[in-house]
Structure 1
């Protein structure tokens, strides 16, 4: 009977240590979960701020302001528009392809063999 009590004591002590170990692991995992949720919340705030900044930077009025201030651009007006046209003779000269000279048949490998495939 004495041996049975000692054996049961060891079993109970093992179970108690197992419960303590499981509780400790649960606490560590819960702390990691809280850290991950906090990081997620911070990333969501950063993302929202970046979206706001992107929308502010891409507004048409801001782009126009930068174009006029930094690049010295001006809005298009009909009085300042210039149209480029080609003379009718110049258009024909541009449309005609340039002549391409054919390679010499005697210098090509096919010419030396006496024919082509």
Structure 2
């Protein structure tokens, strides 16, 4: 058996991704099974990913797969931004570039700008 000297994720990931797609494992519909959900925070607005992100996503992946193996109705869904301070700082800086002071606009207007830029 020839074992490559370097890990080639594409080979392994393509196989398992296709398997999960074929078995509809990325889909969850409410039914009689006990629900199990993990909400995934999106990447930080700063765009800087670190080992903590990798660890968090790996743990979530393991927990969801375990829940599915146990027969639970597992759903791993995208969530909302957990880095609101970093997001606010980025949006305030973008507004400043446009000559807009955060204090001069409503919360709703601020959120519209934040949504457009993140």
Same fold (TM over 0.5): no
| Band the TM-score falls in, shorter-chain normalisation | under 0.3
TM-score, scaled relative to structure 1: 0.19
Q: Which has the higher contact order (CA 8 A, sep 6+)?
A: 2
TM-score, scaled relative to structure 2: 0.19
Report which of the two has the higher share of helix: 1
Report which of the two has the higher share of strand: 2
Q: Could you say which structure has the larger radius of gyration?
A: 1
